[in-house]
Amino acid sequence: MRFGRVRWARHGWDEDVVRAALAHVTGDPMCHQPMVSLGVVVGLLTVDQADALGRMALGISDGLFNLTFDDAGTPQFVEA
């Protein structure tokens, strides 16, 4: 998770990207809701989810995943 947070901070990811990554690793669509703070979501991650978020952050920064939007406007990640 540490390297993921460094990439997140270094690249200045938009909050929507962070929320989409959190929703992807948790499977919880509530991560997209602005009323739920990012700190709360990150604080509730399991060890496995935190590890997955770190790997996802590395993949996003390295261009392995792209953020797209489905027909309903829901953000999702696809492999590049």
Q: Quick check: pTM over 0.85?
A: no
Query: Which runs of E-coded beta strand occur in 1-80?
Result: 65-69, 75-79
* Dist CA 6 CA 65 (whole Å): 17
Residue-level pLDDT at 38:
85
Partner residues linked to 78 by β-bridges: 66
Residue-level pLDDT at 49:
93
Summarised one tens digit per residue, pLDDT across range 64-73 is 877 788 888 7
